[in-house]
């Protein structure tokens, strides 16, 4: 069992009957969805899923996991998702899979958030992983120029065919190659203020539990918020 599969299956153990569960997106979350689907089929687990991308929705349906749209639920009991970086302060960067807008909406509606990662995603400070910024088409070039002036080394996110990637919401992504984010809270506040920025990949003060895959087995770390 690889590390991603290990933490995916471990996280599925936190899902209980009657829960509304946010289902994350990405290569690690894939295994979590697989594990929950297995419990639904083999153990009769009764849950409702709320997905963070069209891709995850297709996967969950194929496994027989009952789904609802986010606007059909009052709240989400638990969301399980991956992360691209987690700092020593348990702040995160997400959006490598271009789903951070939906992921943040789901996370903010959740009573509890679990992140599942392998140990390579743990860092002292955020920033080595490019920070995704989802932007509307109109004026996106102006935002790109602004990020250039700030020295953030922006690049357009492209799809596998080399064309500009379009998110599930029909937007574009600019990745900021900052190297180090010294003040993530300050940066997040500034990005939130920019007209045309739909959402950014800084997930701050939102995770409750981190499950880390190691060669010794999964390590569960509880975060005090």
pLDDT of 46 reads 97
Q: Name the binding residues.
A: 25-28, 81-84, 94-97, 121
pLDDT above 80: residue 225: no
Q: Say if residues 74 and 45 touch (Cβ distance below 8 Å).
A: no
Rounded to whole angstroms, what are the CA distances from 54 to 12, 49, 99, 105, 217? 20, 13, 9, 14, 31
Give the residue-averaged pLDDT of 88-108.
97
Domains and CATH numbers, the chain: 3-121+204-214 (3.40.50.1360), 131-196 (3.30.70.260)
What CA–CA distance (Å, rounded) separates 99 from 106?
Answer: 11
Give the residue-averaged pLDDT of 100-105.
98
Q: Name the binding residues for substrate.
A: 25-28, 81-84, 94-97, 121
* pLDDT tens digits along 52-81: 999 999 999 999 999 999 999 999 999 999
Is 183 a residue of the active site?
A: no
Confidence of residue 224 (pLDDT cuts 50, 70, 90): confident
pLDDT of 167 reads 98
* pLDDT tens digits along 158-214: 999 999 999 999 999 999 999 999 999 999 999 999 999 999 999 999 999 999 999
Please state, rounded to an integer, the average pLDDT across all residues of the chain. Answer: 97
Q: Say if residues 143 and 198 touch (Cβ distance below 8 Å).
A: no
Give the residue-averaged pLDDT of 96-109.
98
Q: Say if residues 175 and 133 touch (Cβ distance below 8 Å).
A: yes
Rounded to whole angstroms, what are the CA distances from 39 to 24, 59, 61, 211, 224? 17, 15, 14, 19, 29
What CA–CA distance (Å, rounded) separates 21 from 113?
Answer: 10
pLDDT above 80: residue 1: no
Q: What is the torsional sign of CA 48, 110, 167, 35?
A: negative
Q: Say if residues 131 and 178 touch (Cβ distance below 8 Å).
A: yes
Rounded to whole angstroms, what are the CA distances from 78 to 19, 137, 151, 216, 225? 7, 33, 38, 26, 16
Q: Which pair of tokens denotes residue 116?
A: 């599942």
Catalytic residue among 103, 161, 182, 183: 103
């Amino acid at each position: 069992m690889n590390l991603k599969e290990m933490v995916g299956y471990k996280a599925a153990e936190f899902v209980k009957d009657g829960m509304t569960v946010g289902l994350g997106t990405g290569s690690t979350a894939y295994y979590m969805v697989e594990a929950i689907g297995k419990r639904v089929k083999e153990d009769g687990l009764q849950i409702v899923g709320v997905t963070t991308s069209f891709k995850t929705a297709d996967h969950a349906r194929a496994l027989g996991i009952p789904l609802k749209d986010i606007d059909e639920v009052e709240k989400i009991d638990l969301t399980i998702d991956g992360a691209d970086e987690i700092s020593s302060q348990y702040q995160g960067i997400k959006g490598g899979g271009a789903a951070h807008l939906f992921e943040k909406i789901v996370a903010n509606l959740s009573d509890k958030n679990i992140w599942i990662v392998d140990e390579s995603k743990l860092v002292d400070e955020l920033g080595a992983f490019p920070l995704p910024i989802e932007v509307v088409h109109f004026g996106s070039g102006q935002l790109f120029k602004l990020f250039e002036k700030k020295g953030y080394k922006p690049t357009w996110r492209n799809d596998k065919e080399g064309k500009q990637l379009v998110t599930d919401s029909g937007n574009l992504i600019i990745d900021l190659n900052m190297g180090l984010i010294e003040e993530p809270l300050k940066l997040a506040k500034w990005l939130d203020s920019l007209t045309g920025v739909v959402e950014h990949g800084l997930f701050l003060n939102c995770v409750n539990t981190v499950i880390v895959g190691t060669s010794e087995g999964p390590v569960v770390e509880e975060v005090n918020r």
